[in-house]
Amino acid sequence: MVTATFRFYEELNDFLAPPLRRRAFERTCAKGASAKHMIEALGVPHTEVELILVNGESVGFEHPLADGDRVAVYPTFEAIDISPVLRVRERPLRVTRFIADAHLGGLAQLLRLAGFDTLYDNHYADAAIEAIAHDEHRIVLTRDRELLKRRTITHGCYVRALKPQMQLRELFERLDLTRSAQPFRLCLMCNAPLRRIAKESVGDRAPEGVLQRHSQFVTCDVCGRVFWEGTHWQQMRRLIDGVTADATLDAQTGHENARPHQTDNESAMRNGDPGPGDAYNAG
């Protein structure tokens, strides 16, 4: 057996037992145990870790620990250039795509609203989420830290906020999603691309009054629903604009732990997860 000293930084402390937070502490482990094994044994999912220093030198997850090692573990860096040191993942994913677990249905719909390809099914088993994330190079979103410890999941986020709107704001800030957002391009139900459709082709999929007041429509080829820019669209437009503006402001001011205050933009969905008709008017 060997004894190593650990120190976790910033939000990684949220995963530790209270007596171990924000201080150095010793732990005994088997000789040759990897840094990843010990980090996860202490409760921190590997997907939340960006940098590991052992005795001041950057190492990877598989680095074996030796007696007397001092291990410093850091989360994702947003404002500090750490390019000269070894990151624990080779590279970011080329395309930002998500898969959300059963508890994040509201967040999944809001991410689709913002234009991000997001898989969600409240019947997904953990093994299925792991397999899909690996095969399709998706970021796993969950509030279950044990899911993020699965071996083949390389990119994931433990979502701290409880309400869908605040979860969306959290991800925009943590993952710098503002520049990648393409609102209103995906169906909230099917996660499929929307396409424009001629007014003459709408038929009875929209009320007669809507056909008289609106000239632009889009449709989903999977579920066949038709959408137009009604009052729900306007509310969701304000929500997305508010989220992107808050994320940009936080990035400019460097407030790592800032949490946006509640605004009137949130009133549209304050009572729970958004339904498919809450983002656009739909028929």
Q: What is the pLDDT of residues 122-154, one digit of tens each?
A: 999 999 999 999 999 999 999 999 999 998 998
pTM over 0.75: no
Alpha carbons 23 and 80: distance in angstroms, whole number: 22
More confident residue, 277 or 125: 125
**Predicted confidence band of residue 283 (pLDDT cuts 50, 70, 90):** low
pLDDT of residue 246: 67
**Contacts (Cβ under 8 Å, ≥6 apart) of 240:** 113, 114, 181, 183
Alpha carbons 216 and 208: distance in angstroms, whole number: 14
pLDDT of residue 249: 64
Q: What is the pLDDT of residues 209-266, one digit of tens each?
A: 888 898 899 999 999 999 988 777 778 888 888 887 766 666 555 544 433 333 323 3
**Rg (alpha carbons) of the chain, rounded to whole number:** 22
The structural domains of the chain, ordered by start, are: 2-74 (3.10.20.30), 98-282 (no CATH)
pLDDT of residue 94: 61
Distance of CA 35 to the CA centre of its chain: 25
Residue 107 has pLDDT above 70, yes or no: yes
Calculate the dihedral angle through the C-alpha atoms of 145, 150, 154, 158, rounding to the nearest 10 degrees.
Answer: -10
Sheet with 51-54, edge to edge strand ranges: 25-29, 2-8, 70-74, 51-54, 57-59
pLDDT of residue 87: 55
Q: Of 196, 93, 105, which Cα lies nearest the Cα of 139?
A: 93
Integer CA distances (angstroms), 233 to 77, 113, 164, 238, 262, in order: 35, 10, 18, 9, 20
More confident residue, 268 or 249: 249
- Asked if 173 contacts 165 with a C-beta cutoff of 8 angstroms, the reply is no
More confident residue, 68 or 84: 68
**Contacts (Cβ under 8 Å, ≥6 apart) of 213:** none
Q: What is the pLDDT of residues 165-207, one digit of tens each?
A: 999 999 998 888 888 888 899 999 999 999 999 999 998 888 8
Q: What is the pLDDT of residues 41-60, one digit of tens each?
A: 999 999 999 999 999 999 99
**Contacts (Cβ under 8 Å, ≥6 apart) of 192:** 186, 220, 221, 222, 223
Helix (H) or strand (E) holding 221: none
* Mean pLDDT, range 24-34, rounded to an integer: 94
pLDDT of residue 85: 59
